[in-house]
Amino acid sequence: MKRRDITANQVRALLDEGLSKAQVADELDTSLDLIYRRLREGEPSRTVAPSLAAELPKGGVPVWVSTAPCGENPDMFFPKYANQASPAVQMCRSCAHRLPCLAWAMAEDIQEGIWGGLTERERRKLKRSA
């Protein structure tokens, strides 16, 4: 079972030591999703689309995150290999939060994981074409 008692300070301390976010998740035996959530705690919201800004609480994480189906198995959305992304992408296709999720990930410049049904590579390609 993955740990949930991780604090933002623990995450930041390990990042300051030079570890990547994925390495921090491994070190703390938690999901990469939780690492991102902890980093967003208390951080002022960046500029996002007006429709998403209304959904952002003070911690900077959109309201829909707590009800999205990906919350049941967040590790699935951070595959170690690209060929393992298919189950997460398929789940995203039927999710009501797909477009807000993708817009948020693009606005926050999230590099790792499946967000809004797109892989890291697909989001980079989309960003370059915009």
Q: What is the number of structural domains in the chain? A: 2
Whether 117 and 64 share a structural domain: yes
Q: Which of 17, 47, 33 is nearest to 25 (CA)?
A: 33
Does one domain contain both 55 and 117? yes
**Residue 30, domain extent:** 1-41
* Phi-psi domain of 29 (left: phi exceeds 0; alpha: psi -120 through 50; beta: other): left
Q: Higher-confidence residue: 41 or 33? A: 33
Same domain, 64 and 124: yes
Burial class (CB in 10 A: 0-12, 13-18, 19+), 3: exposed
Whether 21 and 56 map to the same domain: the answer is: no
> pTM higher than 0.85 for the full model?
no
Q: CA-CA distance, 84 to 77, in Å (whole number)?
A: 9
pLDDT in tens, 59-73: 566 777 778 888 788
* 18/56 same-domain check: no
Alpha carbon 53 to its chain centroid, in Å, reads 17
Q: What is the pLDDT at residue 90?
A: 92
CA contacts within 13 A on the Cβ side of 58: 1
Checking if the pLDDT of 43 tops 60, the result is: no
Task: Choose between 46 and 95: higher pLDDT.
Answer: 95
Give residue-wise pLDDT tens across range 87-120: 999 999 889 889 888 888 888 888 888 999 999 9
Assess whether 50 and 68 both reside in one domain. yes
| pLDDT of amino acid 89 | 92
Greatest mean pLDDT among 4-13, 36-45, 118-127 lies in: 118-127
